[in-house]
Amino acid sequence: MQRDKKMKKDLSTEQKIKDAARKVFMTKGFSGCTTREIAKSVGINVALLNYYFRSKGKLFELILEAALSDFIEAMVEVFSMDLSLEDKTRMLIDKEFEFLRKHPELPLFIHAGLNQESDNDFDQSNFLGRLHQTGIFEQCEKAQEEGKMRKVNMINVTLLFMSNCHFPIMSKKLICGIYQMNESQHEERLNEHQEIVKEMLINYLFPNTFKNA
């Protein structure tokens, strides 16, 4: 009678395992760490890990799904606001940079994690549906018909946002390595980049509002 039957306990152990697993998986990846490492960082026995979650793989899938959900939810939050598309653009980029500064390992973890998994059916959380519910697609479609927004496929719009927000964060080591920068120098570049991306994307997606550089 594993869990699932009665769940009255304090939940703290299960949650502590998840937290530790998240931290370890994030920084080292699935095959880059061991179950014992995770257990040790919680202060529990290895067997307890398989007691709560059935296997290392199952635990990983859980963490990965949660990570995906986290960052889709950040988009949903902004899209649900009552703002113009230009303001949503600015807001999304700012929120994304802010969020990713706190969780810089997240993008790389997600992409590497998805590549590790064999099946790509992460439709369980219905991310597309959650995005649709915000009405962002209709808002864009309307703006595009009115000539206020450049007619670009929404998938490409998504790519533009994600490319310019996620990549600068995940490429930290590469960029610092090439340009021989330290942490604070990179931070400075990142801050400037945040403004660059905002201006560039708004200029490109809403060309009528800005006619000058």
Partner DNA sequence: ACTTATTTTAAACAATTGTTTAAAAAGCAT
Partner DNA sequence: ATGCTTTTTAAACAATTGTTTAAAATAAGT
Whole-number minimum distance, CB 107 to DNA, in Å?
Answer: 23
The answer to the question of residue 91 lying near a second copy (CB under 8 A) is no
Helix residue spans in 103-180 (DSSP H)? 106-116, 127-133, 136-145, 154-170, 172-179
27 lies in the site for DNA, by CB under 7 A:
no
Least Cβ distance, residue 33 to DNA (angstroms) = 7
Size of the site for a second copy (CB under 8 A): 59
Residue 66 token pair:
């949660």
Indicate the residue type of 127.
F
Residue (of 45, 8, 37, 2) closest to 20 by Cα position: 37
Residue (of 133, 17, 39) closest to 80 by Cα position? 133
Instruction: Tell me which of 23, 29, 41, 50 binds DNA, using CB under 7 A.
Output: 50
* 13 near DNA, judged by CB under 7 A: yes
CB contact at 8 A, 149 and 208: no
- Judged by CB under 7 A, which of 1, 155, 178, 213 binds DNA? 1
Of 20, 24, 33, 108, the one binding DNA by CB under 7 A: 33
Q: Is 62 in the site for a second copy (CB under 8 A)?
A: no
- Candidates 28-36, 82-90, 100-108, 152-160: pick the segment binding DNA (CB under 7 A): 28-36
Choices 5-13, 57-65, 89-97, 172-180; region in contact with a second copy by CB under 8 A = 172-180
Q: Measured between alpha carbons, how far apart are the two ends of the chain, in Å?
A: 66
CB atoms within 10 A of CB 186: 17
Q: Can you read off the two tokens belonging to residue 138?
A: 């209709």
Cβ-contact 13, 48 below 8 angstroms: yes
Which of 39, 79, 164, 198: binder of a second copy (CB under 8 A)? 164
Q: Is 43 helix (H, G, I), strand (E, B) or coil?
A: coil
**Site of interaction with a second copy (CB under 8 A):** 27, 29-32, 72, 105, 108, 110-112, 114-116, 120-123, 127-128, 131, 150, 152-153, 155-156, 158-160, 162-164, 166-168, 170-171, 173-181, 189, 192-193, 196, 199-200, 203-204, 207-208, 211-213
